[in-house]
Structures are given as structure tokens and as C-alpha cells.
Chain A
């Protein structure tokens, strides 16, 4: 099945919608990889539920992106027929699950950003994005609380759980800077009242992370750590390609398959 190009040269609103959709789908798919492998039944259900929320958010956003693009494509086309360089998700979303510590820390770091982001986006001049944001904001509040409770339990837990949480922090922290980046396309939307300025959400993110880390007795890494960047421009690490190969295999091998 031929790949399609949508994000390249996309106008700001379409690009913004795709970036949000891609981050939600990629993170949701990552969480779904835990299905059948979670450490206990309650977490099996929790991870699947969070994945379901994220994939649901992605569906609404892809449907809107397809409408904005106006070429008659569907949400499935956008999810299944774009290659890795077309994906515009945050790099943190595509990082492998690693162990349970890394998965819940990744969820905390992203959710602590998405909660104020969705809240601010409810005031967007774009009615559809505002509506998606109003739903997503409520959902992510539960994701944040759940992830925060686990980070505290593992950080302030046994020697083993703490050492795993410290490793996870080393691994993931360099991917947090990208959440607050803006480019020319973003700035056009921010100026027009269509999207919030992520830099303005930094204090709330810092405060949430500091509060959870304090309870978890984890150190907040020093400012000035070198940060990874690129996902929002389509520059990804090797992991995303492998994930998409799994996720897209069936609809590409059997176009139009339904059951």
C-alpha cells in the first residue's frame, strides 16, 4: 500500500492537529503493548484503559485532520499509511516501554504536560480542537494521578524499584524539553488564538513534576540538561519505525481489511 504525505508542507492548523494526534496514537500504541504482560491484573486494566483513552483522542484528531486536509482521506489512512518521517509525535511518546518504572514515568512526564495543555486548548478559537480538548482534559487527569501514584511508590520504594526509577529518569528526562518547543507554524496559531503557548505551561509542569518527585524522594534533574528534539519535525529515532511496522502491517498488507 503506497505511503501518503500529509504533514509535509501542511498548513499550521493541520500540522498542529496531526502533531497532537500522532503523540496520542504513538503513546497509546506503546501502552497497548503491555496488554497481556502487565505486572498484575489491575495494571493490565489500567494500562489498557489509558491506551484506549489516548487512541480515542487520536481518532477524533485524525478525523478532524482528514477533514482539514480535504482530500477525502480517513482517520485510518492517516494512522496506517504514513511512514515514520511523516509522523510528528513527540519523541518521548515513541520511547520503548522498558520496564514498568520507565512506562509509568513516561506517562507522568507526558500527562503533567498534557493536562494544562488540553485545559488551555479548550479556549482555542477552533471549535473542534476545543471540544476534543475538553474531553481529553478530563481523561488525562486520571492518567496523571495514576502515573504519579506509581512514580511515588517506586521512587520511594525498595532499593530495586528506586534504582529502576532512577534509570528511567536518566533515560527519559532528555526527551522532556521537546514538549515546550515552538516553531513558526506553532507561533502563527498561538498568535491567532488557536493554540496555547507551551512555554507558558512550563511553570505548571515544573510544579507537578517537583511535587511528585519530592514525594518519590527523586531528585529533579538540573536545568540545562541537553535535550533531544526532532519528532515534531519528523526526525525520529529507530524505535518509531519498528513500532509502525507492527501497527501498520495488517492494513498495508491487506488494504481495506475489515472484520
Chain B
């Protein structure tokens, strides 16, 4: 038994659950490493299974997000390393992930990293002309224009600031 596991012996189910959430929550998103999966709202819940192992729920940002497999592996590895018993990751689809779940701290980290964060309330089912005013994450100017609805990953669109001339990614509202 590792030292970490030894410390966990005797913890009740509730505290194990909190510890699992704490450990899993620190796992970084593989594509936007400044964000943890807790910042993103991808980490949903944790519980103690009947067989004594811990189970952590994660939800995909997009159906085809290729980072999900890697996140699942990293969460299991982090839980194992922290000595949590027989960790398992479960992929849940409902309720569907929304950018509304991204924490304020997460939004600020994104901006500092050079990615314009999503608006606090996601716009949905919009056909045309619904682009919000977007501030450039580098200079703060709002004289910006969308280059493409789709960017370097499924969750981002591509923009340009006409003031500082820098292109930047925008984490799309979903």
C-alpha cells in the first residue's frame, strides 16, 4: 500500500468522494492545459461504488471531442496515484455540457492564456447575425471580427482583432 493510500484508509464514503473530486478536478485539459477539468465543468460527480472503488463522472464538451479518452486515462491515473481505490471513469451525456458550467476562474484563465472566453449565457439555436461583441483577449479592444465559425479544436472559433491585428481563438458558447 502506498503512503497516500494508507492515509485514506478509514476515510468515510463522503470524504473519499470529496477527495476523488479534488484529485480528478486538478487534471488539466489536454488541449487547453491552463484549464483543469473542474474549471471546464467537464468533471460532474464522483461516488463510492458498492465494490469499494471510486467512480468519477465526466461529460464531453462536444460529441466528437478527441480529448475525452485522454482525460479519462489521466483521471484514472491521478486517482490511482493519490491512492484512491479501484478508480473508474464513467462518461455521462446527460445533462449536456454547456459553457455556462465553466467557472469564473476558468474564464479568466482562458483570457490570460489568449483565448476569448465564452459569454456567460450561451446563445442557442441561432441562425444568423447573433455574434456577440467579443473583446480581444490580448489588447481588450472590441473591434474584432470572426474569421471562421470553426477553429483549431471543436470548441473554438477563429477571430481577429482589428486594433492590435492579432488573430485569436474564441471558446464558443454551447
Question: Is the CB–CB distance between B127 and A145 below 8 Å?
Answer: yes
- Say whether chain B's binding surface is mostly helix, strand, loop, or mixed: loop
Q: Count B-side interface residues using an 8 Å CB cutoff.
A: 29
Contacts of A139 in B (CB 8 A): 62-63, 174
A10 at the interface (CB under 8 A from B): no
Question: Is the CB–CB distance between B64 and A53 below 8 Å?
Answer: yes
**A-B contacts, CB under 8 A, total:** 92
Rounded to whole angstroms, the CA-CA distance of A135 and B61 in the bound complex is 9
Rounded to whole angstroms, the CA-CA distance of A81 and B160 in the bound complex is 45
Q: Name the residue of chain B whose CB is nearest to the CB of A211.
A: B127
Rounded to whole angstroms, the CA-CA distance of A211 and B129 in the bound complex is 13
A120 at the interface (CB under 8 A from B): no
B133-174 at interface with A (beta carbon < 8 Å): 147-154, 158, 172, 174
Counting chain A CB atoms within 10 Å of each CB, the highest count among B64, B126, B154 belongs to: B64
Rounded to whole angstroms, the CA-CA distance of A44 and B22 in the bound complex is 39
Q: Name the residue of chain A whose CB is nearest to the CB of B63.
A: A56
- Say whether chain A's binding surface is mostly helix, strand, loop, or mixed: helix
Rounded to whole angstroms, the CA-CA distance of A67 and B154 in the bound complex is 27
Question: Is the CB–CB distance between A52 and B147 below 8 Å?
Answer: no
B100-143 interface bits toward A, Cβ cutoff 8 Å, 1 = contact, 0 = none: 00000000000000000000000011111000000000000000
Question: Is the CB–CB distance between A136 and B63 below 8 Å?
Answer: yes
Contacts of B149 in A (CB 8 A): 46, 142, 145-146, 149
Contacts of A134 in B (CB 8 A): 93-96
Contacts of B52 in A (CB 8 A): none
Q: Name the residue of chain A whose CB is nearest to the CB of B125.
A: A141
Rounded to whole angstroms, the CA-CA distance of A132 and B94 in the bound complex is 8
Contacts of A130 in B (CB 8 A): 94
A115-145 interface bits toward B, Cβ cutoff 8 Å, 1 = contact, 0 = none: 1000100000001101110111111011011
A25-66 at interface with B (beta carbon < 8 Å): 42-43, 45-46, 48-50, 52-57, 59-60
B73 at the interface (CB under 8 A from A): no
Question: Is the CB–CB distance between A52 and B154 below 8 Å?
Answer: yes
Question: Is the CB–CB distance between B63 and A119 below 8 Å?
Answer: no
Query: How many Å from the CB of A66 to the closest CB on chain B?
Result: 15
Question: Is the CB–CB distance between B93 and A132 below 8 Å?
Answer: yes
Among candidates A45, A148, A212, residue contacting B158 with C-beta atoms closer than 8 Å? A45
Q: Name the residue of chain B whose CB is nearest to the CB of A47.
A: B150
Question: Is the CB–CB distance between B96 and A138 below 8 Å?
Answer: yes
Among candidates B98, B127, B150, B154, residue contacting A144 with C-beta atoms closer than 8 Å? B127
Interface residues of B (CB under 8 A from A): 60, 62-66, 92-98, 124-128, 147-154, 158, 172, 174
Q: Show 18 A/B contacts (Cβ-Cβ < 8 Å), sorted by A.
A: A42-B158, A45-B148, A52-B154, A53-B154, A56-B60, A60-B63, A60-B93, A135-B63, A135-B97, A136-B63, A138-B96, A138-B124, A142-B172, A145-B126, A145-B128, A146-B150, A208-B127, A211-B127
Q: Top 7 closest A-B pairs, CB basis?
A: A56-B64, A56-B63, A131-B94, A42-B148, A134-B96, A46-B150, A52-B64
